[in-house]
Amino acid sequence: MKEIFDAINTRIREPYWGFFVISFLAFNWRALFLLCFATGTAQEKIDLFDSLTTFWSLVCFPILMALAILLITPWLKVLFGLVSRLAYEKLNSQELVREHKYIAQKNMLEKERANALANKENELIDRAKRDVDIDQIADEETRNKLKIEIDRLRLERNKLINNNKSTDINDIKELSEHELELLKKLSESEDHCVQKKRINGSDFLMLNKVNIHEKNDSPTYYRIMDAITSLKRKGLIKDLNNEGKLFELSSEAKKLLSKINE
């Protein structure tokens, strides 16, 4: 008996026979329900079953339905595969565009940094050349007056730089401890970015290749999120692509941090 049930179970699991059984139940469920649970004699139940079923409902319709499902199923798989492939291609395309913008902005910042260093080098070279030219002036009185005037101009320039530094210090004082800590961590990271992700219903932040989970480390997670919101409002970090997922240290923040390190 067990072998018979195993054979029947194996047959039902085959695609066509499985579809046939499902179709048979769909067309004859009412008659089968009454045959099993209606009151009366066995003959009355059989007569009731015969009155609710026909040869078409018992054989023809289930066979036709099973064939139709068997033919349509592969095409449905093709359709679902096409739709999912288009969705994944769209996601990959968006990710590539995001990475392209990030790399372009990173290259632009590196170029600005290189230009700033080159300007400082040229300024030092020009100052050294001017000092040499002054020393070559034959008249000592004229040479001394020119040195005094140049020293005065340089002193005024240094005062102006110091005033700018004091302004930067005031900006630093307006930052909270957590905001300043986040800026320093972003500056020390390789990509100067913090990324917000959600996987399997769990939110977490990725900062310098370290994952900070909302559930496992809630205080740190929410402190960083508050700092991100505040720093974004102050223009010290920027939201790449305006999606609220990838935040990068702005050029203003880098200038501010460079003043701190001086």
pLDDT one-digit tens code per residue, 239-252: 877 777 888 888 87
Is residue 97 domain-resident? Answer: no
Is residue 72 domain-resident? Answer: yes
Is residue 73 domain-resident? Answer: yes
Category of 192 on φ-ψ map: left (φ > 0), alpha (ψ -120 to 50) or beta = left
The SS3 call for residue 168 is: helix
Contact 84, 70 (CB under 8 A): no
* Strand spans (E) along the chain: 193-199, 202-207, 210-213, 237-239, 246-249
pLDDT for the residue 166: 46
> Both 181 and 250 in a single domain?
yes
How many other CB atoms sit within 10 Å of the CB of residue 28? 19
Q: Which amino acid is it at 164?
A: N
Q: Which amino acid is it at 103?
A: I
Domain end call among 126, 152, 173: 173
Domain end call among 78, 93, 126: 78
| Averaged pLDDT score across all residues of the chain | 75
> Both 9 and 47 in a single domain?
yes
Side-chain half-sphere CA neighbours of 9 within 13 A: 6
Residue scoring higher pLDDT (145 or 229): 229
> Both 184 and 202 in a single domain?
yes
State how far the Cα of 159 lies from the Cα of 72, in Å rounded to an integer.
81
> Both 14 and 69 in a single domain?
yes
Residue 187 CA to its chain's centroid (Å): 20
Check pLDDT > 80 for residue 200: no
Mean pLDDT computed over 39-62: 82
pLDDT range class, residue 91, cuts 50, 70, 90: confident
pLDDT for the residue 3: 64
The SS3 call for residue 175 is: coil
> Both 133 and 203 in a single domain?
no
pLDDT for the residue 210: 82
Contact 226, 247 (CB under 8 A): no
Check pLDDT > 50 for residue 167: no
> Both 253 and 214 in a single domain?
yes
Which has the minimum average pLDDT: 58-67, 89-98, 223-232?
Answer: 89-98
pLDDT for the residue 168: 47
pLDDT for the residue 211: 84
Is residue 224 domain-resident? Answer: yes
- Domains contained in the chain, number: 3
The helix or strand, by DSSP H or E, that contains position 231, with its residue range, turns out to be: helix 218-234
Which has the minimum average pLDDT: 113-127, 180-194, 200-214?
Answer: 113-127
Check pLDDT > 50 for residue 135: yes
> Both 167 and 184 in a single domain?
no
Helix axes 177-188 and 218-234, enclosed angle (nearest 10): 90
> Both 24 and 58 in a single domain?
yes
Alpha carbon separation from 27 to 15, 19, 24, 42, 79 (Å, rounded): 18, 12, 5, 22, 28
- Highest mean pLDDT (candidates 13-17, 39-43, 174-178): 39-43
Check pLDDT > 70 for residue 216: yes
Is residue 248 domain-resident? Answer: yes
Check pLDDT > 60 for residue 41: yes
Contact 172, 256 (CB under 8 A): yes
pLDDT for the residue 169: 44
Is residue 149 domain-resident? Answer: yes
pLDDT range class, residue 100, cuts 50, 70, 90: confident
> Both 39 and 65 in a single domain?
yes
Q: Which domain holds residue 169?
A: 104-173
